[in-house]
Amino acid sequence: MNLIIQGNDVQNNDLRAIAKLAEASRIDRITGEAFRLLDAQPHPDITEYCEEASLDHAFVPSGKKLTDFGLIAMDMDSTLLAIESIDEIADMHNVKPQVSAITQSTMRGEISFAESLTRRTALLEGLPQEALQKVYDERVRLNRGAEKMLQRMQSAGIKTMVISGGYTFFTDRVKDRLNLDYAFANTFEVQDGKLTGRVLGNIIGASGKGEILKRIRDELGLSKEQVIAVGDGANDLKMLEESGVGIAFHAKPILREKATFSLNHVGLDGIVNLFE
């Protein structure tokens, strides 16, 4: 077993202390902020030590390679992107506090996603469609390490997919920008150039995300173990359950509890550092 240590400022004394706790045989440098401790053993104090030092840690089987995988599925808002797109749309319509409150309640698993999206979309009624492009142009930001991570995935022959509980207006543009293979999201209704406050078709929520991932996985002829899924909230639980490796990225506790690995400090490029 290898122990991967990552952080924005990894100190040598912390590495040595963790290596001693883990009885590691060697410390290999992966990048300036990622290190692999070989032949590591679990120790009850490692988690607390890493939390106090603001370090991410993950025990990964030796020999686990990035090329062992064939598909990575990602949530969009607050995962691939550094924003909640619906909150930014709401800001254009002067209803951001109301929408943000519903978003946070959903992320904590307090209300169903379908109810949440229906309520949030209803608050956007009357918003001119051109405001969406303004949000995309002015406010959409990728999370740190996103492009580097995707380039590594794509160079390894791994298919890339975003599955969002947000809107196709954004996922379609993100897909084109990042050369993703697949993009799935919800579609809002527009009449006379304005949002009606309604969602068209079946809402993609937690169950829908899992179903889509399973369908694409099967179409590609991949096993569950060949899939990585990345998310940040309760809505991503089913997606992670349909993957061999589930990664909680700067996530809510409900997702961290179920994930294979958690990244709380480094960027998305920290995912590729987990594998050889």
Q: Count CB atoms within 10 A of the CB of residue 227.
A: 27
Both tokens of 62, joined, read 């030796």
In the chain, the amino acid numbered 83 is I
Catalytic residue among 14, 39, 56, 75: 75
| Sign, CA torsion 166/140/92/101 | positive
Three-class SS of residue 160?
A: strand
Phi then psi for residue 261, to 5 deg, are -135, 155
Quickly list DSSP for 168-237. Answer: HHHHHHHHHHHT-SEEEEEEEEEETTEEEEEEESS---HHHHHHHHHHHHHHTT--GGGEEEEESSGGGH
Residue with tokens 């290898």: 2
Both tokens of 128, joined, read 């001119």
Distance CA 17, CA 257 (A): 26
Q: Count CB atoms within 10 A of the CB of residue 225.
A: 11
Please indicate whether residue 181 is annotated as part of the active site.
no
Please indicate whether residue 77 is annotated as part of the active site.
yes
Catalytic residue among 14, 28, 39, 77: 77
Spell 79-103 as b/e; 16+ CB within 10 A means b.
Answer: bbbbbbbbbbbbbbbebbeebbebb
Provide the annotated active-site residues.
75, 77
